[in-house]
Amino acid sequence: MPRYAQIASTGRYVPARVRTNAELDALLGEPVDQWLIENVGIRERRLMADDEVTSDLAVHAAREALVRAQVPPEDVDLIILATDTPDYVSPGTASVVQLKLGAVNAGTYDVNSACAAWVIGLDIASRYIATDASYNHILVIGAYGMTRFVDWTDKRTCTLFGDGGGAVLLSAGDQPGFLGGSMRSDGAFHDYMGVFIGGTVEPTGGAETRPQRLEIRKRFPPDTNNLGWPPLVRGLMDKIGRPVSDIDRIYFTQLNLRTIQVVLADLGLPPEKTHTIMDKWGYTGSACMPMALDDAIEQQRGTQPGELVVFCGSGAGYTMAATAFIWTS
């Protein structure tokens, strides 16, 4: 009998500390509030507490997903953590999550494709379930603690980013479930934006070491996602044999509200088919799509059983990824 990965439950975690646009106006000494609202849709963002780390964000979100699915941590077979803000350069943060969560029987690893990593994690986990009967419950978690790497005097970065965690529990079922995934990359953009200090190219240590900060070293073309997401989604729908008009819900990387509006218009989909969270939580990278999914469900705007849902995201590097599911929860 065929096995399919189904989204069994969701969870999220939003830190308590709020930083508003008005606070950034004061911090930067210039007005950014109106520009952020009008151009990207961000009004405020959340910051980790001083005693919180990325693995804590992940554990909170994962624990909520497990409680909702009534699956104990020891029944989890695999934890895939999507993050580019790990607790350590090495070892992987997923192993820390396993310990804190008490998922004693789970394998673990991190996926770092920047903000596209959670969608890629969904794709990977779904294929584990489809091909190996020993995998019945897989946590796919996005956790983002980028404010630890932000220079609060750099208005290009400090205005956008927030912290948070989002998770889904994928479980095995005999009905789809996972329909397919697609990915596109262009390594020519690898040195445009990132946390570059600390790897083998620019290691830490020595008198010349610079702070480990998120940097925008080159400017991405402003229409990168506007032009990249529509063909990615159309290609995925062709792959699974369904027209774009069959999409019931679609969730995007939550970087820019205007981009999402442009892409929806390009695809011929109404704005009611998506859900956005950047206004209240800022841009939360690899965590933003599961957070948006969970928030939509909480607000009773989530996907209904039998509906087709698409996740479409992108991250520095440059990588874009999309997956499609039939909602079964």
Total number of domains constituting the chain: 2
Domain boundary, last residue among 122, 141, 174: 174
The answer, as to whether pTM is greater than 0.95, is: yes
Q: Are residues 162 and 201 located together in one domain of the fold?
A: no
Whether the ω angle into residue 91 lies within 30 degrees of 0, i.e. cis, is yes
Domain boundary, last residue among 122, 150, 174: 174
Q: Are residues 197 and 143 located together in one domain of the fold?
A: no
Q: Are residues 149 and 95 located together in one domain of the fold?
A: yes
Q: 246 lies in which domain range?
A: 180-326
Residue 282 has pLDDT above 70, yes or no: yes
Residue 207 has pLDDT above 70, yes or no: no
Please state, rounded to an integer, the average pLDDT across all residues of the chain.
Answer: 96
Q: Are residues 239 and 158 located together in one domain of the fold?
A: no
Domain boundary, last residue among 134, 156, 174: 174
pLDDT bracket for residue 35 (50, 70, 90): very high
Q: Are residues 138 and 10 located together in one domain of the fold?
A: yes
Give the whole-number percent of the chain exceeding pLDDT 90.
93
pLDDT bracket for residue 1 (50, 70, 90): confident
Q: Are residues 159 and 238 located together in one domain of the fold?
A: no
Mean pLDDT across 106-130: 97
Give the up-direction half-sphere exposure of residue 257: CA atoms within 13 A in the CB hemisphere.
Answer: 19
Mean pLDDT across 17-32: 96
Q: Are residues 67 and 92 located together in one domain of the fold?
A: yes
Q: What is the pLDDT of residues 211-240, one digit of tens each?
A: 889 998 999 898 999 999 999 999 999 999
Residue 4 has pLDDT above 70, yes or no: yes
What is the per-residue pLDDT for 206?
67
Q: Are residues 41 and 124 located together in one domain of the fold?
A: yes
**Cα distance between residue 308 and residue 154, in whole Å:** 40
Residue 204 has pLDDT above 90, yes or no: no
What is the per-residue pLDDT for 275?
98
Looking at 71-75, 155-159, 291-295, which range is the least confident one? 155-159
What's 157's domain CATH number?
3.40.47.10
pLDDT bracket for residue 192 (50, 70, 90): very high
Task: Name the more confident of 76 and 205.
Answer: 76
Q: Are residues 124 and 164 located together in one domain of the fold?
A: yes
Q: Are residues 135 and 185 located together in one domain of the fold?
A: no
CA 305 from chain center: how many Å? Answer: 23
Q: Are residues 162 and 195 located together in one domain of the fold?
A: no
Q: Are residues 149 and 242 located together in one domain of the fold?
A: no
Give the whole-number percent of the chain exceeding pLDDT 70.
99
